[in-house]
Amino acid sequence: MSELNQKQLLELVTSVNVAPGNARVRALVARVVGDLFKTIDELDVSADEFWKAADWLSRLGTSGQVGLITAGLGFDRLLDIRADEADERAGRSGGTPRAIEGPLYVAGAPLSKVEARLDEGNSAGEVFVMEGQVRTLAGQPVAHALIDVWHANSQGGYSHFFPGLKPYELRRRIETDAKGHYRFRTALPPGYSIPPNSPTSELFEALGRHGHRPAHVHFLVAAPGQRTLTTQVNIPGDTYIDDDFAFATRDGLIVELERGVAPAGYESLGISAPFVRSRFDFVTQPAATAGEASPAARLARVQATAGRG
Ligand code: BEZ
Ligand code: FE
């Protein structure tokens, strides 16, 4: 091969091919590689710095923490901002705001009708009940909506990702009744922190940033004909409520807590003493396409469309 300067190398890297490949992938890779060539040149990145970064990326990949980095560097929220902007352009508004799914969703949680205990009878922590209704923009109840709910345990760990939790602990799917009602009992969750001594913590330490999220509960709300809503609610009073490492807290998603609620009427959830309650209704938009009503979370959605370029 002949001698090359930087520009010629970039042209070669982004143009050589033996088959058309995927035009979109080629365009994206050309752009990203071009931007990185420019970054290396303009910031005078040394070979040692480059290989250190490559090693970090390899370790990040094997650690399964890519989803922590995308959130912590703002990409997950960026996608939500772009989706909100697209909605605004399309004249679609109203309903419960979307909020990032995060990387800790697990499909296939046990399914209950109308109410559930997420804590599987383990009564550690403050007893917390969330209840409400799924409604349309017009205020009609959404019958038999599916609410997938998940959150962290008292140490900020999620089942399937953190040792010591049972499969699907603190994860449930709840089918609402004909009037769209749901309720569940769990323990009031704390916040989440990125794992220490990990590729993620290495980066955030180097950036001088913390890796904490305020206390929150995740939801995926789906029903035929309604646009699937991915959101999360925040528990008020958390130190990080306005300083989320994943930039995901939003107005309208901070719930109100009622403390010392009398247990009458909550016996089926095993409650016999005053507890903490939050009432929260989910308001969903009409789906514009069948795909928008799919109850799939982000990875399943991508896998369903894989190969469509
Ligand atoms: C979470 O929802 O707990 C989460 C979101 C983004 C990164 C890490 C955790
Ligand atoms: Fe979370």
Average pLDDT score over residue span 33-50: 98
Contact 227, 285 (CB under 8 A): yes
* 185 and 238 together in one domain: yes
How far is ligand 2, taken at its centre, from the CA of residue 214, in Å? 9
Instruction: List, in sequence order, every residue forming a beta bridge with 15; answer none if it has no partner.
Output: none
Q: For a pocket test of ligand 1, which of 213, 238, 240, 298 has the largest count of ligand atoms closer than 8 A to its C-beta?
A: 213
Q: How many domains, in total, are found in the chain?
A: 2
* 187 and 127 together in one domain: yes
* 34 and 112 together in one domain: no
**Domain annotation covers residue 148:** yes
Pocket of ligand 1 (CB under 6 A): 68, 71, 102-104, 192, 213, 246
CATH code of the domain in which 269 resides: 2.60.130.10
pLDDT band at 1 (very low <50, low <70, confident <90, very high): low
Instruction: List, in sequence order, every residue forming a beta bridge with 278; answer none if it has no partner.
Output: 130
**pLDDT tens per residue across span 217-238:** 999 999 999 999 999 999 999 9
Ligand 1 atom at shortest distance from the alpha carbon of 102: 5
**pLDDT tens per residue across span 45-92:** 999 999 999 999 999 999 999 999 999 999 999 999 999 999 999 999
Average pLDDT score over residue span 130-137: 98
Contact 191, 156 (CB under 8 A): yes
d(CA 13, CA 246): 34
pLDDT of residue 217: 98
* 76 and 37 together in one domain: no
**Domain annotation covers residue 50:** no
d(CA 125, CA 300): 33
pLDDT of residue 73: 98
Contact 258, 188 (CB under 8 A): no
Ligand 1 atom at shortest distance from the alpha carbon of 232: 2
* 148 and 35 together in one domain: no
d(CA 139, CA 135): 5
Model-level pTM?
0.95
* 29 and 94 together in one domain: no
Give the CA distances from residue 264 to residues 129, 267, 271, 275, in Å, rounded to whole numbers and listed in that order.
13, 7, 8, 11
Instruction: Supply the residue whose CA is at minimum distance from atom 7 of ligand 1.
Output: 68
How far is ligand 2, taken at its centre, from the CA of residue 166, in Å? 17
> Residues 6 or more apart from 79 whose CB is under 8 A from it?
100
Q: Which domain holds residue 211?
A: 69-305
